[in-house]
Amino acid sequence: MRQLREGVGYLEYRAESSSKTVQAHEEKYRRISQILDANPEILRAVDGDLGKLSRPNRRGRKARYSSEMLLRSLIVHLLLGGSLRNTEIQLTQNEFLRGFIRIGHRPEAPSYSLLDRAWKAIRPETWERVNAVLTGYATAQAALAPAEIRVDTTAIETNVHYPTDSSLLWDSFRTLFRLFEEAREGVPGLIANRFHERKVKKDHLVITRYAASPCRKRQRKVQKAKVRLIEHVGRIAGVAAEFVTAFRESADETLQAIALEMASYLPSVRQVLDVARRLWIRGEAVPAAERIYSLFEPHTELIKRGRRQKPVEFGHMIWLGQTRSRFITQYGVMAPRIPDSRLGERIVAAHERTFGAPPKVLVADKGFRANPEGMAALRAKVEVVAIPQRLKDFADDAFVALQHFRAGIEGTISTLKRAFGLLRCPYRGFKSFAAHVGLSVFCHNLVVLATAGP
C-alpha cells in the first residue's frame, strides 16, 4: 500500500543566507510547492497510477515513499535534467531538494530504478488530466488570458539510430541471436543451429562501407552481401518462429519469457525483411508508410519538415497551443502525423472544451492555412484568424503584430527541447512517448506560474 502524502513540512526558505542566484532558485521551488499544495487533485490523479507499483500487504506495511514524494522527485528530475541516477544523487545530498520532495529524515532518496518505474506507471491520460487541472487553477488565479492563443507544431525524436536497411537487418539478426544465446545458457544443447554471427556482421559492414562506392567491383561485392544478409536474417527468423511455437506455453519460465520476447520482435523483423527484398532484389521503390524505422520503436515515423540542417527526422509530431502569458493550454501527440492545415478545427474544439468558448484570436503560421471551406469554418467560430496566405497579408500592421506574437511560441518550443527534455524521448513505446510530452508540458507550466510573480 502506498500513502498519498505524509505530514512533513516544507524546508524553510533561507533568503538571508543565500546569494541572489540561489534565492531565485529556491524561490522557484517554493512557489512550485505552493502550487502543488493548492491543487490536491493533481496528487490524487497521479496516485491512482502510482498505487499500482506497490502490492497490497497482509501485514499492513506501507510503501516506503509516498506518491507525493515520487511526483515531486520526477519534477525535480525534469527541472535538473540529466539522468535518473544523477537525480538520485542530488536528492540524497541536497538538503533543500530533500525538503522540496518532503522526504523527512529518511537517509536515502528514491532510487533511480523506482523513479523509472514511477515515470513509466503514469499514463498519458493522467498527464492530460493533470495539465487540465493546472490550466483551471491558472485561469482562476487570472494568470492567463485564454482569449488569444498561438499554435505551432514540432517534431520530437524517438531514441533510435539513423535507420538504414542494412542496419535494420543487422538489428534484427543480433537481437534474435542474443535471445537464442540466452536460451542456450539456460538449457545447454537446446538449440543446435549455427547462425554464423561474424559472417553476418561482416556482410553488414561491407554494405555500410561500400554502398556509395562508384567502383563496379565493390558494387558487385555489396550486392552479394545484401543477398547473403537477407538469407541469414530470413533463416534466423524462421528458426525463431519455430522456437516461439514450441515454447510460448512452456513450463520453463525462462524459455517462455524468451519465446514471448521473440514473438514481440518477429512482426517487425518480417516487415524489415519484406522491405529489403522489395528494395534490393526486386528493385521496387518502397513508400515511407510501408517501411519500419526501428526494431525497438516500431511506432517511429519519418518526418520531413523542409529543414536544410536536418531534412529527415525520426519520431512524432506534436502540436502546442499557448496564451500570451506563455502558459501551454493544450498539446497533442500525433500518431500518425496530421497535416497542420487540418489541425485548426481540432485546436479550436479542444480550447472550447477547456474554457467553454472558442478563442477570440487564433494565430498560426501559413502551414495551418486550410482549404476555403476549412478557413470558413474557423472564421465562423473565431473572431480573428491570423494565418498568412500571401505576402501582401503583412501589409496590415495589426496582422504583423499578431505574427510577432506568434513567433513567441518558437522560443517556447526551444525551451521545451533544451530545458524540459523534449529534444529526444528516452523511453520506449508510444504511450511512454506521450507521457513524456505530458510531464514536460506540466513542468514547463509549473515554472511559468512559479516565475510569473505574485
Span 169-181, average pLDDT:
96
Tell me how far apart the alpha carbons of residues 195 and 175 are, in angstroms, rounded to a whole number. 12
Residue 238: predicted pLDDT: 95
Of the listed ranges 13-22, 245-254, 305-314, 334-343, the one predicted with least confidence: 13-22
CA angle 53, 55, 56 (to 5 degrees): 140
Residue 172: predicted pLDDT: 96
Residue 52: predicted pLDDT: 82
Residue 106: predicted pLDDT: 78
Angle between helices 430-450 and 112-121 (to 10 degrees): 100
Tell me how far apart the alpha carbons of residues 366 and 370 are, in angstroms, rounded to a whole number. 9
Residue 454: predicted pLDDT: 59
Cis peptide bond prior to 358, omega within 30° of 0: no
Residues 6+ apart with CB under 8 A from 14: 26
Other beta carbons within 10 angstroms of residue 211's beta carbon come to 16
**Mean residue pLDDT across the chain:** 91
Other beta carbons within 10 angstroms of residue 63's beta carbon come to 18
Domains and CATH numbers, the chain: 15-122 (no CATH), 125-160+299-432 (3.30.420), 165-290 (no CATH)
Residue 15: predicted pLDDT: 46
Tell me how far apart the alpha carbons of residues 242 and 259 are, in angstroms, rounded to a whole number. 10
Closest residue by Cα to residue 147 from 337, 324, 394: 324
Residue 39: predicted pLDDT: 95
Residue 251: predicted pLDDT: 87
Tell me how far apart the alpha carbons of residues 414 and 426 are, in angstroms, rounded to a whole number. 18
Secondary structure of 332-387 as H, E, C letters: EEECCCCCHHHCHHHHHHHHHHHHCCCCCEEECCHHHCCCHHHHHHHHHHCCEEEC
Share of the chain above pLDDT 90, in %: 78
The grid coordinates listed for 107 are 537517509
Question: Model-level pTM?
Answer: 0.91
Tell me how far apart the alpha carbons of residues 81 and 310 are, in angstroms, rounded to a whole number. 24
Span 43-65, average pLDDT:
79
The grid coordinates listed for 436 are 513524456
Closest residue by Cα to residue 204 from 174, 239, 182: 174
DSSP 8-state symbol, 279: I
Span 281-300, average pLDDT:
93
Confidence tier at 190 by pLDDT (50, 70, 90): confident
Residue 1: predicted pLDDT: 58
Helix (H) or strand (E) holding 316: strand 313-322
Span 236-259, average pLDDT:
92
Closest residue by Cα to residue 232 from 262, 191, 203: 203
Span 255-276, average pLDDT:
95
In the block, residue with C-alpha cell 520532495: 101
The grid coordinates listed for 425 are 524521448
* Strand bridging mode 384-386 / 148-158: unpaired
In the block, residue with C-alpha cell 515531486: 72
Residue 7: predicted pLDDT: 62
Residue 49: predicted pLDDT: 92
3-state secondary structure of 3: coil
Span 165-192, average pLDDT:
91
Residues 6+ apart with CB under 8 A from 269: 172, 176, 233, 237, 240, 295
3-state secondary structure of 54: coil
What pairs with residue 149 in β-bridges?
362
Residue 259 has pLDDT above 80, yes or no: yes
Residue 57: predicted pLDDT: 58
The answer to whether 180 and 438 are in contact (CB under 8 A) is no
Tell me how far apart the alpha carbons of residues 33 and 72 are, in angstroms, rounded to a whole number. 9
Tell me how far apart the alpha carbons of residues 42 and 5 are, in angstroms, rounded to a whole number. 12
Residue 216: predicted pLDDT: 94
Residue 349: predicted pLDDT: 94
The grid coordinates listed for 376 are 470558413
Tell me how far apart the alpha carbons of residues 16 and 2 are, in angstroms, rounded to a whole number. 37
Of the listed ranges 2-6, 53-57, 403-407, the one predicted with least confidence: 53-57
Tell me how far apart the alpha carbons of residues 24 and 450 are, in angstroms, rounded to a whole number. 11
In the block, residue with C-alpha cell 522456437: 243
Chain Cα centroid distance, residue 315: 9
Residue 388: predicted pLDDT: 92
Residue 23: predicted pLDDT: 87
The grid coordinates listed for 421 are 527534455
Of the listed ranges 72-76, 189-193, 405-409, the one predicted with least confidence: 189-193
Tell me how far apart the alpha carbons of residues 135 and 204 are, in angstroms, rounded to a whole number. 51
Residue 207 has pLDDT above 80, yes or no: yes
Residues 6+ apart with CB under 8 A from 250: 256, 259
Answer with the residue of higher pLDDT: 306 or 138.
Answer: 138
What pairs with residue 378 in β-bridges?
none
Span 292-306, average pLDDT:
94
Confidence tier at 13 by pLDDT (50, 70, 90): very low
